[in-house]
Every structure is written in C-alpha cells, then in structure tokens.
Chains A and B, each alone.
Chain A
Amino acid sequence: DTGVSQDPRHKITKRGQNVTFRCDPISEHNRLYWYRQTLGQGPEFLTYFQNEAQLEKSRLLSDRFSAERPKGSFSTLEIQRTEQGDSAMYLCASSSGGGRTGELFFGEGSRLTVL
C-alpha cells in the first residue's frame, strides 16, 4: 500500500498524559497537512508543511500541540498534557507539488480518546 499511513489508529489516554501520532505521507509528496475532526464536524486545519518547513499553523494549535517533519518525510504530532477536549480524529494528508489545484490524499486517521 503506497497511501498515507498513520499510527496508531486508536489511542486511549488519561487526561494530562502526552501522546504522539505519526504520519507517513505518499513518498513523492512534499506537502503534508494535519487536520482534526470531531464528531459531526468537517475536518479542521491544524498545520501545514512543505518539505521540512512548517509554513502555517492554525490558532487551533495551542502551545500544547507541536508538529514536526524533520527530514521532509514522515511527520509527528504531539499533544502534551492532554485534555478531554482533545478527543478527536487526527487526520494527516499529503499532496504533490500541484500547488493550489492538487487534491489532498488522506490517511485513515488516528482516533484519540482522553479519559
């Protein structure tokens, strides 16, 4: 399978713990995005990388959230001191250098439940 892969698919944690999600994009894609989706809502943009550079961050991305893409390949999204409101599906997507006309390819998502 050469699609976008995310790990873990499911994570249950207690409030206050740290969690980290990993995303492996499609290999030739230089653009990578993180979104968050809560029940009954559309995906909300969190952050965007072009190669290793983080070019945009949403105000939804509080200081407890950090994302990296150190070598321009895989990316990690870390949430520190989790809160119950962080419970959501975290989606990763990638795209090629098609600029503004290219579609995003999404992974299956990582579902976070904070108890």
Chain B
Amino acid sequence: AQSVAQPEDQVNVAEGNPLTVKCTYSVSGNPYLFWYVQYPNRGLQFLLKYITGDNLVKGSYGFEAEFNKSQTSFHLKKPSALVSDSALYFCAVRDAPLEGGATNKLIFGTGTLLAVQP
C-alpha cells in the first residue's frame, strides 16, 4: 500500500532563513507525490506535485520540492522563509491498488506545523 511519512511534527525557522519540511514515501510503481498547505480553519491548498521529469519541482508561493528516488524522499523547501508561511503542511501520495486499475484518492501524511519566527 502507498504511504507517506512526515517525521517532524513541527519545524521552527527564523524569517529569512531557508526551510525544509521532510517527507518520505513508500509506493509500489511510480510515485505521484503532492504537497498541500493548510491555514487555520481552512481547507487544503495545492502547492506542487511530482509526476515525472525533473527532480526539482517548483510550486506556488516560492516553494519547491526535491524528489529523491534513492532516498524515497520528497522534501519541501523554500530559500527564504516568511512569517506568512506559518501553517500546516501535508505531503500526499496518489494511491494505487495492488490489483491494478485507477484509484485516484490521495493518501496524506500526518502533517508538519511550520512556525516562522520574525
């Protein structure tokens, strides 16, 4: 079964410093990986996805993610953090049933709270 793990419950970073939010995955077949952000009492907003191609994926709000097949990781990064980046970040993987066929749901990690201090 597909799964993702976010090993950090919380990441603290000072404004202006680079940030990394970690995600590792376990899949059978090709991984389709996603990052979403959630602000308090709001729905999830799509940031970026990896389907194929370049290992460095660029997304919304200056975020990017690096796909690393050998380490089965898909870490979210930003060169310079803003206080407004403080939110809950979710890594997700597209499900694929063992028996084949199309299953379109996303499986989410437990989330990482990013706190950016001014």
Assembly CA distance A103 to B103 (angstroms) = 13
Measured CB to CB, the closest approach of chain B to A89, in angstroms, equals 8
Known: A100-B32, A100-B94, A108-B43. A42 touches B102 (CB 8 A): no
Assembly CA distance A32 to B28 (angstroms) = 24
Assembly CA distance A16 to B44 (angstroms) = 30
Is B57 on the interface with A (CB-CB < 8 A)? no
Known: A41-B110, A100-B32. A33 touches B105 (CB 8 A): yes
Contact yes or no, B94 A42, CB < 8 A: no
Contact yes or no, A31 B104, CB < 8 A: yes
Contact yes or no, A108 B105, CB < 8 A: no
Assembly CA distance A93 to B38 (angstroms) = 14
Measured CB to CB, the closest approach of chain A to B35, in angstroms, equals 10
Assembly CA distance A100 to B96 (angstroms) = 9
Known: A41-B110, A42-B110, A107-B43. A100 touches B105 (CB 8 A): no
Assembly CA distance A111 to B42 (angstroms) = 10
Is A70 on the interface with B (CB-CB < 8 A)? no
Is B67 on the interface with A (CB-CB < 8 A)? no
Contact yes or no, B43 A45, CB < 8 A: no
Residues of B close to A33: CB separation below 8 A: 104-105
In residues 89-118 of chain B, which contact A (Cβ within 8 Å)? 90, 92, 94-96, 102-111
In residues 1-55 of chain A, which contact B (Cβ within 8 Å)? 4, 31, 33, 40-45, 48, 50
Chain A residue nearest in CB terms to B97: A56
Known: A42-B90, A104-B106. A91 touches B32 (CB 8 A): no
A43-B44, A56-B105 known; 14 other A-B pairs, CB under 8 Å?
A33-B104, A45-B107, A48-B104, A48-B105, A91-B43, A91-B44, A93-B44, A100-B102, A101-B94, A104-B44, A106-B45, A107-B43, A109-B42, A111-B41
Is B74 on the interface with A (CB-CB < 8 A)? no
